[in-house]
Amino acid sequence: MTSTEAWQNTADSFIDPQQRNQVLNWLKDRVPSSRIQHILGVEKMADDLAIDHQLDRTKAQIAGLMHDLAKYFHPQILLETAIAEKLPLDDILKNHPHLLHADISAVVAREEFGIEDREVLNAIANHTLGKPEMSPLSCVVFLADTLEPGRGNTDELEALRALCYQNLYRAVWKTCDYTLNYLIKTSSVIHPRAVLTRNWALQQHQNKVQLGQKR
Ligand SMILES: Nc1ncnc2c1ncn2[C@@H]1O[C@H](COP(=O)(O)OP(=O)(O)O)[C@@H](O)[C@H]1O
């Protein structure tokens, strides 16, 4: 099966097929095929999680499909677009513009593909660093980006995947820990928004435990 056939072969696509093809053709010229496979993995896992957590499947699929539109944009373009959009910029973002690809993917989704739904645009923008108070839709796209099957099958990843279907906020908390551990191990700079997201998800989880809520 060619990768083009694989694109069309989605069991339950809720996205308008013409728009989905338009996005995939746009991506084909701008990202390597390995990234397209990741994007399709995120689209599918976001959909699976939307079913499980009773969220809007169309929104989850669109956000998954469009989350990495700006992944390979030049750092200068990412910075210039962020400035034009008046996005808040700190020193870490200025020195590591790649971290802006999530926010700029949301800009491309709006400008190039006419996406206006704020929840979808926020889910795209939040997929790398998350954000305190982010919506359940943002949570599932954030989780799918780190945990779609193409990311590997270590015991740790498998445990995190299982957690996504048991407890959304605990999964976000533990997935932040996973990414933060990776950044520490690789001596990388850590953007503090990921720590704020982690603390928020931990608190959400603890609030639910106190209220006796299971998920
Ligand atoms: N809190 C953070 N601080 C700094 N870098 C981060 C943080 N979270 C993720 N990154 C890095 O940002 C890059 C983009 O992350 P991500 O959107 O998940 O991309 P990818 O899909 O390529 O893994 C990766 O190199 C990742 O390690």
CA distance 9 to 212: 41
Residues 81-118: tens digit of each pLDDT: 999 999 999 999 999 999 999 999 999 999 999 999 99
Atom of ligand 1 nearest to the CA of 99: 12
Quickly state the pLDDT bin for 13 (edges 50, 70, 90): confident
* Euclidean distance between CA atoms 20 and 4, whole angstroms: 12
Q: Report the separation in Å between the CA atom of 18 and the middle of ligand 1, taken as the mean of its atom positions.
A: 31
DSSP string, 81-140: HHHHTT----HHHHH-GGGGHHHHHHHHHHHHH----HHHHHHHHTTTT--TT--HHHHH
Contact 145, 45 (CB under 8 A): no
Q: Quick one: which of 198, 193, 149 has its CA closest to 171?
A: 198
Domains and CATH numbers, the chain: 3-210 (1.10.3210.10)
pLDDT at 40: 97
Q: Which of 185, 186, 182, 163 is nearest to 173 (CA)?
A: 163
pLDDT at 10: 60
pLDDT in tens, 133-192: 999 999 999 999 999 999 999 999 999 999 999 999 999 999 999 999 999 999 999 999
Q: What distances in angstroms separate CA 175 from CA 34, 62, 91, 151, one per listed residue?
A: 22, 22, 25, 13
pLDDT tens digit string along 34-48? 999 999 999 999 999
User: Cα–Cα distance between 31 and 2 in angstroms, integer?
Assistant: 17
pLDDT above 70: residue 4: no
Q: What is the pTM of this model?
A: 0.95
Dist. CA 23–CA 107, nearest whole Å: 14
Nearest protein Cα to ligand 1, atom 23: 146
- Given ligand 1 and candidates 43, 68, 99, which is best to mutate, with the most ligand atoms within 8 Å of its CB? 99
Q: Whose CA is nearest to atom 4 of ligand 1?
A: 190
Mean pLDDT of all residues belonging to the chain: 94
Whether 92 lines ligand 1, by a CB cut-off of 6 Å, is no
Which structure tokens are listed for 119? 């929840």
- Look at ligand 1, atom 11, and give the residue with the nearest C-alpha: 99
Question: Tokens representing 96?
Answer: 């590591």
The ipTM estimated for the assembled molecules is: 0.95
